[in-house]
Structures are given as C-alpha cells and as structure tokens.
C-alpha cells in the first residue's frame, strides 16, 4: 500500500468519525448516540532575556478536541481525540496528533466488539497505538477469579506529529486480560512491529494491578523484547516498573517504587539496516536507566501530612549513582478555612556534585468556582570542574521562580485557567503567561 493510499485511508476514517460527530448533537442521532466531549484551547507566551542582553520570545497555541459517543443498549460507538499545535513566533513546524478516530460495533451485551480507525489500546500502552482494526471478546459470566477478555489488532502506525501513516511500518498483536474485583487486572500480550519486512520490535507485555486488601496494592509493568531491532542484538528485558503501596493505618503509609529500562532507538537502527548504513554497536546497547525509591507518609491529623523519601537513581550504565533525599509537609483547610499549604525540599548528591531545591505552595478556594495558587521555587546546583592542574572550580547557578495561577470553574460547561510566572536564573530572566479555555459538552 502506498503512502498516499494510507493517507487517504486515515483521512477517510477520521472524516467518517467527524461526520458522526457533526450529526450526533442534532436530530434523531442525538437520541441514538449521545455525544460526550471536550474542547480545550491553550496559549503559552514567554519572554526571556539573557545576561548578555540577548532576548527571545516564544508563543505556542494548542487546541484539543475529544468527543465520544456510545449508543445506550445499542451496537454503535465512535470517538475522536486529536491535538493541533502552532508556533506563531518561530519557524517551528505545526504539529497535529490523532490519538483516536474510530467507529465501532458491539453486541448489546458487549461480549463482541469491533473497532475500525485510529485507536489507542490502553491494555498494552503506547506499543498498541494503531490505525487499522481491533477486535475483542469478553467472557459473559465471570469465573471465580474474574472475567476474561481476549483481543487482537493489526494495522499501520501513525506519525507522532502529522496526520499520515509511516511508510512500510506494520504492527499487530494479541492480548488476554483478566479483570477482577476492586480494580484487579492482569494482562499478557504480544506486539510485533515490522519495518520494511524487518522486525523492528517483538515484545511480550505483562502488566498487573493487584489489591491485596488491608491497604496493600501492587502495580507492575514489564516488557521483554524477544529479539533485537532489525534482528540484531539479543533477547532481553527492556522495561520493568513496580510500585508497592501499603496503607498500614489512617496515620501511616509506606510506598516503594522500582524502575528500570533500556531505551534503544529501534526505529533508527532498523532504518539504517534498510538503507545499508553501518550500525554502531553502542546503539544496540542503548540507554540504561535504573531507579529505586521509598517514601514514608505520616498523617498525625486529618488535615496534616508529613512525608520523607529516599531514592537511588542512575541515568545511564556509565553514570554515577545519585542519591536523593526529600522532605515535605502539607496542610489542607488550615485554620478551618479553605487554605492549603505545602512545603517540600530535596537534595540530590551525585559524586561530588549536588543539587538542592525548595518548593512552597499556598492555595485558597473562593467558593466552589475559584481556586488561586501561589507557588515559589528555589533551586541551587553545585558543579565541580577540574582544570588541567587538577584544581577544582566550583560553579553555583541558582534560579528562583514565582508563579500565580487561577482555576475558574465558571459552570459545568466552561472552565478557565490563568497563570503568570517569573523566573530569575543565574543566566537569564523569563516571564511566562499561560491561558486555557475548556468547554465540556
């Protein structure tokens, strides 16, 4: 299939979904398939002046439209979720992203489901963003361990920033999911991505969310590449994440997180093989990062929380390990009024270098519709650089940021976001303004 044909296909699918969206709010279609959606428009402006006198301005405008409809007791559904960004003050290219644009059919009891178009399958994360077809079967009567679901999908991959499909990229996969009580879920899946006939990624996905009762929950995500990109490299564990939370009582809560992953640019490696370019062996190793964190939270009073955390992080296999200590306190409805106060500080040590930060926030609610927040950030970095004589030069860049923001819920339909912040850095001064309009329907 040519690139032009793929582009026409995705435009036709999106156009069909958009036609349904236009028809849904009026006439008989409004009763058949009610629409539920949101439109958001954000503008971001910043002006920066460096210590050498150079000044730059940056403007960004982002629009998002998200609409979905499902026929009550019927068989039809549809959804569209897209974003568009433009940058009036620079020559940066405009960007358009379509996350979902599909039409679907399902049996009234939802045991059989079929979707056609652009979809994001949450069961498998970003690996299962696909433009094509998705089918799923759900078990009718749940068993003692839960309700089973089985799905499969196949199609093309949409460009991340443009509404067109990538040439010669094919993807597909299958999964089995078991849904239980209290949000318990177990997912085992497989995703295959091919690039010009070569295997770009071949991944087994295994995700779990397990509530053990008595305040203990575990979330785990794992990806295992069964072969390297373009059939180079070896099978290996490419990603694992685990989060264990134990709420011992109303007063005490413990949380531990482990995160490890190998970031390999499989797309570039496969493109190089297709083009006949040599592949750097270091590219097959990629970026290896690892992080282990623990946090203790104490709530001595209903309105007061105090926490302390420690983390051990490594950004790449050759980097030094960093140790981070974090302390914080948060008070809600202080003095019996709608006043919230949070103060948190952290210190990161990597070898002889260190990085300190302080964050303080004050929030106040004016009724149910207006919430104002004043935030203060202070950061200090210490870098020690050795010169040719082995001496040490210490550099201390510092930045302070003050931000005032307002959330205004004008009605169930309209919301406004306004934010202004000023940053005083060792190398520059910056003024930034953000506005947002959200319309729900």
CA–CA distance, 400 with 409 (Å, rounded to integer): 30
Token output for 430: 């910056």
Measured between alpha carbons, how far is 356 from 139 in angstroms, rounded to an integer?
Answer: 53
Nearest to 202 by CA among 219, 212, 190: 190
Bridge partners of 127?
Answer: none
Contacts by 189-196 with C-beta closer than 8 Å and gap 24+? Answer: 189/123, 189/124, 189/128, 191/124, 191/127, 191/128, 193/127, 193/157, 193/169, 193/266, 194/169, 194/170, 195/168, 195/169, 195/230, 195/267, 195/270, 195/271, 195/274, 196/168, 196/270, 196/274
Residue 40: both structure tokens together: 């958001």
List b or e across 378-407, with b for residues whose CB sees 16 or more CB atoms inside 10 angstroms. ebbbeeeeeeeeeeeeeeeeebebebebeb
Q: Tell me the backbone φ, ψ of residue 215, rounded to 5 degrees.
A: 80, 15
> Are 403 and 397 within 8 A, CB to CB?
no
Residue 18 tokens, joined = 């958009």
The CA R_g of the chain, rounded to the nearest whole Å, is 26
- DSSP string for 305-324: EEEEEEEEEESSTTSPPEEE
- Number of other CB atoms surrounding residue 175 within 10 Å: 21
409: which 2 tokens?
């819920």
* pTM, two decimal places: 0.83
- Which residues on adjacent β-strands are paired with residue 428? 50
Smallest CA-to-CA distance from 296 within 256, 331, 243 is with: 256
Strand partners, 178: 148, 186
Encode the chain (441 residues) as per-residue pLDDT tens digits: 444 544 444 454 445 444 444 444 444 444 467 778 999 999 999 999 998 889 999 999 999 999 999 877 789 999 999 999 999 988 889 999 999 999 999 999 899 999 999 999 988 987 889 999 999 999 988 888 999 999 999 999 998 778 889 888 999 999 999 999 989 999 999 999 999 999 999 999 999 999 997 899 999 999 999 998 988 888 999 999 999 999 999 999 999 999 999 889 898 999 999 999 999 888 888 888 999 999 999 999 999 999 999 999 998 888 888 999 999 999 999 988 999 999 999 999 887 778 899 999 999 999 989 999 999 999 987 766 666 565 666 677 889 999 999 999 999 999 999 999 999 988 889 999 999 999 998
Where residue 53 falls (left for φ over 0; alpha for ψ -120 to 50; beta otherwise) is left
The count of other CB atoms within 10 Å of the CB of residue 185 is 16
The residue count of the chain comes to 441
Query: Residue 16: helix, strand or coil by DSSP?
Result: helix
Looking at residue 34, what is its pLDDT? 72
Of 427, 414, 434, the closest CA to residue 40 belongs to: 414
- Local structure of residue 92 (DSSP, 8 states): P
d(CA 15, CA 332): 47
DSSP, residue by residue, 255-314: EEEEEEEEE--HHHHHHHHHHT----HHHHH-EEEEEEEEEEEEEEETTEEEEEEEEEEE
Residue 266 has φ and ψ, to the nearest 5°, of -65, -35
Note whether 345 and 359 are within 8 A (CB).
yes
Taking the CA atoms of 27, 31, 34 and 40 in sequence, report the sign of the dihedral they define. positive
Cα 152 → chain centroid: 24
User: In this structure, are residues 164 and 11 in contact, taking their beta carbons and an 8 Å threshold?
Assistant: no
């Amino acid at each position: 299939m040519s690139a032009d044909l793929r582009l026409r296909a995705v435009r036709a699918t999106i156009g069909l979904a958009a036609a349904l969206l236009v028809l849904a709010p009026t006439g008989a279609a409004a009763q058949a398939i009610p629409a539920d959606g949101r439109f958001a428009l954000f503008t971001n402006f910043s002006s920066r002046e460096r210590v050498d006198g150079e000044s730059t301005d940056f403007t960004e405008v982002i629009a998002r439209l998200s609409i979905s409809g499902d026929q009550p007791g019927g068989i039809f559904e549809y959804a569209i979720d897209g974003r568009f960004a433009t940058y009036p003050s620079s020559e940066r290219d405009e960007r358009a992203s379509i996350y979902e644009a599909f039409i679907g059919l399902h049996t009234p009891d939802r045991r059989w489901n079929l979707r056609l178009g652009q979809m994001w399958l949450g069961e498998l994360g970003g690996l299962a963003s696909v433009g094509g077809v998705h089918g799923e079967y759900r078990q009718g009567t749940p068993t003692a361990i839960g309700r089973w679901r089985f799905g499969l999908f196949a199609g093309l991959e949409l460009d991340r920033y443009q509404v067109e499909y990538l040439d010669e990229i094919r993807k597909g996969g299958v999964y089995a999911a078991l849904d239980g009580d209290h949000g318990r879920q177990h997912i085992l899946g497989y995703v295959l991505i091919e690039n010009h006939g070569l295997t770009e990624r071949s991944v087994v996905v295994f995700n779990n969310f397990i509530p053990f009762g008595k305040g203990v929950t575990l979330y785990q995500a794992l990806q295992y590449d069964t072969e390297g990109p373009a059939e180079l490299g070896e099978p290996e564990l490419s990603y694992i994440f685990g989060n264990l939370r134990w709420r011992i009582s109303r007063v005490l809560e413990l949380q531990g997180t482990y995160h490890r992953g190998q970031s390999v640019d499989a797309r570039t490696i496969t493109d190089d093989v297709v083009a006949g370019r040599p592949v750097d062996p270091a590219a097959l190793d990629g970026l290896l990062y690892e992080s282990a964190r623990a946090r203790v939270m104490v709530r001595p009073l209903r309105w007061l929380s105090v926490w302390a955390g420690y983390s051990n992080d490594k950004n790449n296999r050759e980097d030094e390990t960093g140790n981070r200590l974090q302390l914080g306190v948060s008070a809600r409805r202080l003095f019996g009024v709608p006043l919230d106060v949070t103060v948190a500080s952290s210190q990161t040590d990597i070898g002889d270098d260190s990085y300190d930060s302080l964050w303080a926030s004050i929030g106040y609610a004016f009724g149910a519709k207006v919430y104002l927040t004043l935030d203060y950030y202070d950061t200090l970095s210490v870098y020690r650089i050795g010169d040719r004589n082995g001496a040490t030069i210490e550099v201390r860049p510092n930045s302070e940021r003050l931000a005032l923001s307002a959330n205004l819920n004008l009605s169930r339909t309209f919301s406004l976001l306004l934010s202004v912040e000023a940053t005083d850095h060792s190398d520059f001064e910056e003024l930034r303004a953000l506005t947002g309009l959200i319309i729900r329907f």
